[in-house]
Structures are given as C-alpha cells and as structure tokens.
C-alpha cells in the first residue's frame, strides 16, 4: 500500500476525485480537465487540457460525514495493445466488486494512432462514490517494457482489492487526497474547518509536520470512537484547524 501511495495519480483520478474535492473549497466553476491523448511510461506522449479559475480565497470546509457507498465507476484504458486487454481488466474487476455493490460501471478507453502515446500500456482507475458526495479511489497500471509483463486480470483484481482497502479505511477522502484536503484547509479563511479521514498515511503525517514548519499551523487530531455494534471499517480521525487566511494577490480586487 505504501508504494501505491507514493505513485503519481493518474489523470482519471484527478478528473473524477481531485477536481470534485477542489470544488468543495470554492474552486468548482470553470474547473475542467480533458484527456486528448493517453501516454504510458517510459516515453509518455499523453496530452490533457486543464482549465482552472483564479480564486482570491478558499472557503472553509466542514466534511465529517462520509456516507455509504452507493456506486462504483471506473476507466479501463489501453494504448498500443489489443482492445481485448481493457475487456479482460473489466471482467476481472467485476468478478471481485460484484460481490459487494450492484451499481458498477467501468468504461473502456482504447486509444489508437496518434492518441495512443509513444509506449504500450494499460491500466485501471476505480472510484467509489458515497451518499454524502465523497469519493474513494484506487488505480494501477501495467509495468514498463523491459520489466516483468503485467497480466490484465491481475491489474483488475489488485485494483479492486486496493479500492476495497480504501473503503475499509473510510473517511471523507481517500489516502491519496488526505494531504490535499489538509493543505486547502490550512490555506483557507480564518474560520474553522473539519474533516473526517481514515487512518493517516505516513505521507500525510509528514505533510502535517511540513504545515507546522511552514505556516506555524497545528491541527487538532481526535480519534473518533465507535461503538462495537456500530464499528464500520478502520478507526477514523477527525482533523480540525483554523485557516491562515491566505489570499491570492494576483486576483484583481473589484
């Protein structure tokens, strides 16, 4: 899991999870990410179009109700390989997730020609949406040429298991987005912000130390106790802070 947390987020996760999280801080209108070409390691060749509005201040956040999983969506993509790779990933993924959630839809995205980048590859991004509007994600991609070949069925099953692990950890954001949410809370207006997460990842713990060193900001961290008959998943943590009131000086004041 630690290696998975260290990897870069794929563009589909940024589009379906990161951008909705940013919108909760008041950066929603005009925020857009479009994939025009997909690239894989090592030679890349992908292309995206990203649009982001300029905001003077970030809104405080009160996000302490994660809700229950209501549906799972995903994208199985393939570049410069057979289209059957995507279908094999989908079949293996559904073989795991169909036991838990009925509402599952995984899109297949097979890029051809110039849109397929410069290296062959395939992978899967999964997102679980809750009744309270939180998003939990997991992703995996194939190994680079020269490494041990990846099997599409293994990619599907392992990504599904990673998603179930994130769901078990719980909280309003997944492990990959804990640090981003805390950063925006710290930079927000001088008001109270709260968020409920699962167990803090090692990356997030170190990130909290950086926030303390750079902004002299300390979060109040409280373990949320659950009754034995109500316990769902791992222990939850509630983090509270008062934003430093950071203001974007490049935004013209009308």
What is the chain's mean pLDDT, rounded? 90
User: Distance (Å, rounded) from C-alpha 25 to C-alpha 139?
Assistant: 25
Residue 194 belongs to a domain: yes
Number of structural domains (the chain) is 2
Locus of tokens 């020269």:
146
Q: What local confidence, expressed as pLDDT, does residue 111 receive?
A: 86
User: Distance (Å, rounded) from C-alpha 105 to C-alpha 121?
Assistant: 22
Q: What local confidence, expressed as pLDDT, does residue 106 receive?
A: 96
- 81-132, pLDDT tens digit by residue? 999 999 999 999 999 999 999 999 999 999 888 888 888 999 999 999 999 9
Residue 247 belongs to a domain: no
Do residues 126 and 190 both lie within one domain?
no
**Of the candidates 169, 202, 226, which is a domain's last residue?**
169
Residue 129 belongs to a domain: yes
Do residues 26 and 141 both lie within one domain?
yes
Q: What local confidence, expressed as pLDDT, does residue 117 receive?
A: 87
Do residues 8 and 24 both lie within one domain?
yes
Q: What local confidence, expressed as pLDDT, does residue 28 receive?
A: 83
Q: What local confidence, expressed as pLDDT, does residue 227 receive?
A: 56
Residue 253 belongs to a domain: no
Q: What local confidence, expressed as pLDDT, does residue 2 receive?
A: 40
Residue 8 has pLDDT above 80, yes or no: no
Residue 141 has pLDDT above 90, yes or no: yes
**Which residues have a Cβ under 8 Å from the Cβ of 77 and sit 6 or more positions away?**
12, 38, 86, 108, 109, 110, 111, 122, 123, 124, 125
User: Is residue 63 exposed (0-12), middle (13-18) or buried (19+ Cβ within 10 Å)?
Assistant: buried
**Of the candidates 140, 169, 198, which is a domain's last residue?**
169
Do residues 118 and 81 both lie within one domain?
yes
Do residues 94 and 72 both lie within one domain?
yes
Do residues 103 and 119 both lie within one domain?
yes
Do residues 159 and 184 both lie within one domain?
no
Q: What local confidence, expressed as pLDDT, does residue 42 receive?
A: 86
Do residues 112 and 193 both lie within one domain?
no
Do residues 80 and 8 both lie within one domain?
yes
Residue 75 has pLDDT above 60, yes or no: yes
Q: What is the pTM of this model?
A: 0.89
- 195-215, pLDDT tens digit by residue? 999 999 999 999 999 999 999
Do residues 96 and 205 both lie within one domain?
no
User: Distance (Å, rounded) from C-alpha 99 to C-alpha 144?
Assistant: 32
Residue 94 belongs to a domain: yes
**Of the candidates 135, 169, 203, which is a domain's last residue?**
169
Do residues 129 and 179 both lie within one domain?
no
Residue 194 has pLDDT above 50, yes or no: yes
CATH number where 128 lies: 3.30.360.20
- 41-53, pLDDT tens digit by residue? 888 889 999 999 8
> Once rounded to an integer, what is the mean pLDDT over residues 170-182?
95
pLDDT confidence band for 228 (50 / 70 / 90) = low
The domain in which residue 186 lies consists of: 175-242
User: Distance (Å, rounded) from C-alpha 89 to C-alpha 69?
Assistant: 22
Residue 64 has pLDDT above 70, yes or no: yes
User: Distance (Å, rounded) from C-alpha 5 to C-alpha 15?
Assistant: 18
Residue 7 has pLDDT above 50, yes or no: no
Residue 236 belongs to a domain: yes
Which three-class secondary structure state does DSSP give residue 104?
A: strand
What interhelical angle do 178-187 and 202-215 show, nearest 10? 20
Q: What local confidence, expressed as pLDDT, does residue 125 receive?
A: 96
User: Distance (Å, rounded) from C-alpha 60 to C-alpha 24?
Assistant: 9
Do residues 181 and 161 both lie within one domain?
no
User: Distance (Å, rounded) from C-alpha 196 to C-alpha 191?
Assistant: 17
User: Distance (Å, rounded) from C-alpha 79 to C-alpha 112?
Assistant: 7
Instruction: Report the Cα–Cα distance between both ends of the chain, in Å, rounded.
Output: 47
Q: What local confidence, expressed as pLDDT, does residue 218 receive?
A: 94
């Amino acid at each position: 899991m630690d290696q998975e947390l260290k990897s870069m987020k794929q563009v589909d996760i940024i589009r379906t999870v990161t951008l909705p999280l940013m919108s909760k801080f008041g950066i929603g209108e005009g925020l857009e990410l479009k994939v025009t070409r997909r690239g894989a390691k090592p030679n890349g060749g992908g292309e995206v179009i990203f649009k982001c509005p300029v905001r003077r201040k970030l809104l405080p956040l009160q996000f302490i109700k994660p809700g229950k999983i209501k549906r799972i969506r995903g994208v199985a993509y393939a570049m410069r390989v057979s289209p059957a790779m995507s279908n094999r990933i989908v079949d293996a993924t559904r073989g795991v997730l169909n036991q838990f959630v009925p509402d599952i839809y995984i899109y297949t995205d097979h890029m051809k020609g110039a849109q397929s980048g410069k290296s062959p590859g395939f992978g899967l991004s999964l997102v679980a949406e809750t009744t309270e509007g939180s998003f939990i994600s997991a992703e995996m991609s194939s190994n680079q040429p020269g490494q041990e070949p990846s099997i599409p069925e293994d990619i599907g099953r392992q990504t599904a298991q990673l998603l179930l692990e994130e769901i078990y950890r719980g909280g309003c954001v997944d492990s990959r987005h804990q640090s981003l949410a805390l950063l925006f809370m710290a930079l927000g207006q001088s008001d109270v912000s709260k968020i409920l997460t699962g167990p803090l990842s090692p990356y997030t713990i170190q990130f909290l130390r950086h926030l303390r060193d750079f902004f002299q900001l300390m979060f109040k961290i409280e373990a949320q106790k659950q009754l034995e008959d109500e316990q769902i998943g791992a222990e939850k943590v509630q983090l509270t802070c008062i934003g430093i009131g950071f203001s974007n000086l490049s935004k013209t004041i009308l």
